[in-house]
Amino acid sequence: MIDPFEAAGPLRTAYLDVDWAGGPLGPVSTWSPTLRGAVDLLLQTRNAVTLFWGPQFVMVYNAAYVDMIGDKHPAALGAPAREVFAEIWEEIGPLLESVLAGRGATWAEDMKLYMDRHGYPEETYFTFSYSAVRGPDGVIEGVIDIASETTVQVIDRRRLDLLGRLTDRIGDIDTVPQLLARALPVLRSDPDDLPDVDLRPVGDSPLDRAGDGPIRIPLADGLDLITGLSPHLPDDEAYRGFLRLVAAALVQGLSRAAARRIAAVEREIAEALQRSLLSNPAQPDNLDVAVRYHPASEGARVGGDWYDAFLLPDGGLAVTVGDVSGHDREAAAAMSQIRSLLRGIASALPGPPDRVLTALDDAMARFGVDTLTSVILGYVDLGTYELHWSNAGHPPPLLLGPDGTVTVLETPAEIILGARVAARRTHHRLRLAPGTAVIFYTDGLVERPDRGLDAGIAALRATLTGRQQLTAVQLCDDLSATVTDRVDDDVVLLIIRRPA
């Protein structure tokens, strides 16, 4: 007789050790041609395959199937499946009965089974199909199982999903209470990996497991991650590595929160410093004046943008908006110096704005104010409402007429202050009709990373058109609403308006 176990390879000894004659299948010599052919087929393949033969579903399998059943081998070979898989019989028994009864093949994908194959009920997952094996007469003699274990893939996906959701939920937290409120629901959504998980004040329990008790992983800000370990999963490096990744995500969230808190404090200090350098504008009886300052949204930065509005000795009003290059304390200090120099020169030196800007440029060189700055300086005669202005490399002001039209007060380009080159400066004039407003601003209002200066000015014109009925304060509020969190530069607004 041909040896039916010749192809069993590493299982040949186990096959020979089974008392087939004393078991449900009887002596090998009496096995049906269908059974012998099925056994030969499964022994010839390297895929994990098992047969469940006869009404007792006696198990016959190949070497690739052994890893799936662990400690159940070799006792499972030649034994009824109900005895071998007593702990999962409620799940797989009805499937096998259905196939044996002729109701067709079954299919299960990533089926969860708590299998006792290493001395404890282990969480496992399998994708498999039970199919009928028929004899020549069409009678179903047994069931063949072609299976693959997907435990690692399923658990890895579950853990990656949790880590992704956790990172998303705590990506923008600012405080520890926020972390608790957002992180704990995510952590507790995976009790299979993190039973009884919690975030608690620092304790002295080590990372190592104490019997069946929880483990404690130190985080930051006085918090520990505390969790039990699943009794259904091996306490291996993959499990501990997952816990370390969870802890790392929490620490990263806490670190970002701490950095944001520090940045917020610095930002408040910087804004307070910047605002302390900008005094309240003069408010003449017959002209509306409104100003706004918006700091850059990125980091704790003081900058060089400024505004000023002050009365001159002759009774006129001087208005100025400027922008010192840079975004740091040096820029803020230079801005304060230039602003003070401009006030002093304008008050002491009668004459048009272009003459004052020329004197200011000379004073900056003389006093060692080594920086570049754009500035626009205007004088308003409060008797005639005539506006005189000079522009040193600054974005042009806009004129909102009493009919709602907007004009850009574009003038020939003139060099900025601090360039240390001789420059001829000019000044320009126009009369402000009743209901006319003039809008001065710095480039942060109109420039964006995705939008140039010209396009920004065009957008500003569109925003202002038809708003001639608004006061200077209302216009400032409307334009301030266009300043978003994306602004990466300071924004200064100064608006004068002759009442209608």
Q: What is the pLDDT of residue 325?
A: 87
pLDDT for position 328: 72
Buried b (16+ CB within 10 A) or exposed e, 307-323: bbbeebeeebbbbbbbb
CA distance 380 to 291: 16
HEC assignment per residue over 174-206: CCHHHHHHHHHHHHCCCCCCCCCCEEEECCCCC
Question: Mapping DSSP to helix (H, G, I), strand (E, B) and coil, where does residue 57 land?
Answer: coil
- Alpha-carbon dihedral sign for residues 350, 355, 359, 360: positive
CA gap 26, 38 in Å, rounded: 16
> Which residues neighbour 12 within 8 Å (Cβ) at sequence distance 6 or greater?
5, 6
Give the C-alpha separation, 5 to 131, whole Å: 23
**Phi, psi at residue 188, to the nearest 5°?**
-80, -5
Interatomic CA distance for residues 131 and 98, integer angstroms: 10
Q: What is the pLDDT of residue 301?
A: 56
Alpha helices in 382-494 (DSSP H): 453-464, 472-480
Looking at residue 410, what is its pLDDT?
Answer: 94
Residues 169, 181 contacting (CB under 8 angstroms): no
Strand pairing class (58-61; 49-53): antiparallel
Q: Which residue has the tokens 């216009």?
A: 475
Alpha carbons within 13 angstroms on the beta-carbon side of residue 211 total 1
The contacts of residue 307 (CB under 8 Å, 6+ apart) are 278, 281, 291, 293, 319, 320, 321, 440, 492, 493, 494
Name the burial class of residue 354, with classes exposed (0-12), middle (13-18) and buried (19+) by CB atoms within 10 angstroms of its CB.
Answer: buried
CA atoms of 311 and 305, how far apart (whole Å): 21
Beta-sheet pairing, 140-149 with 121-134: antiparallel
Task: Judge if pTM exceeds 0.85.
Answer: no
How far is the CA of 484 from the CAs of 367, 396, 441, 446, in angstroms? 37, 22, 16, 11
- Give SS3 for 144: strand
Long-range contacts formed by 447-452: CB under 8 A, 24+ apart: 447/489, 448/486, 448/487, 449/488
Q: Which residues of 452-490 are buried (b: 16+ CB within 10 A; e: fewer)?
A: eeeebbeebbebbeeebebebeebbeebeeeeeeebebb
Specify whether the CB–CB gap between 146 and 229 falls below 8 A: no
pLDDT in single tens digits along all 500 residues of the chain: 567 898 899 999 999 999 999 999 999 999 999 999 999 999 999 999 999 999 999 999 999 999 999 999 999 999 999 999 999 999 999 999 999 999 999 999 999 999 999 999 999 999 999 999 999 999 999 999 999 999 999 999 999 999 999 999 999 998 999 999 999 999 999 999 999 999 998 875 544 444 467 899 999 888 999 999 999 999 999 999 999 999 999 999 999 888 888 777 776 766 665 566 677 899 999 999 999 988 776 554 567 888 999 999 999 999 999 999 877 778 888 888 999 999 999 999 888 999 999 999 999 999 889 899 999 999 999 999 999 999 999 999 999 999 999 999 999 989 999 998 888 899 999 999 999 999 999 998 998 888 889 999 999 999 999 999 999 999 999 998 887 655 567 899 999 999 98
SS3 content of the chain, % helix, strand, coil (to 5): 40, 25, 40
Cβ neighbours around 260 below 10 Å, total: 15
Other CB atoms closer than 10 Å to residue 268's CB: what's the count?
12
CA distances (Å), 135 to each of 31, 54, 102, 324, in order? 12, 12, 13, 93
Residue 63 pLDDT: 95
Q: CA-CA distances (angstroms) from residue 61 to 86, 197, 220, 444?
A: 18, 41, 52, 75
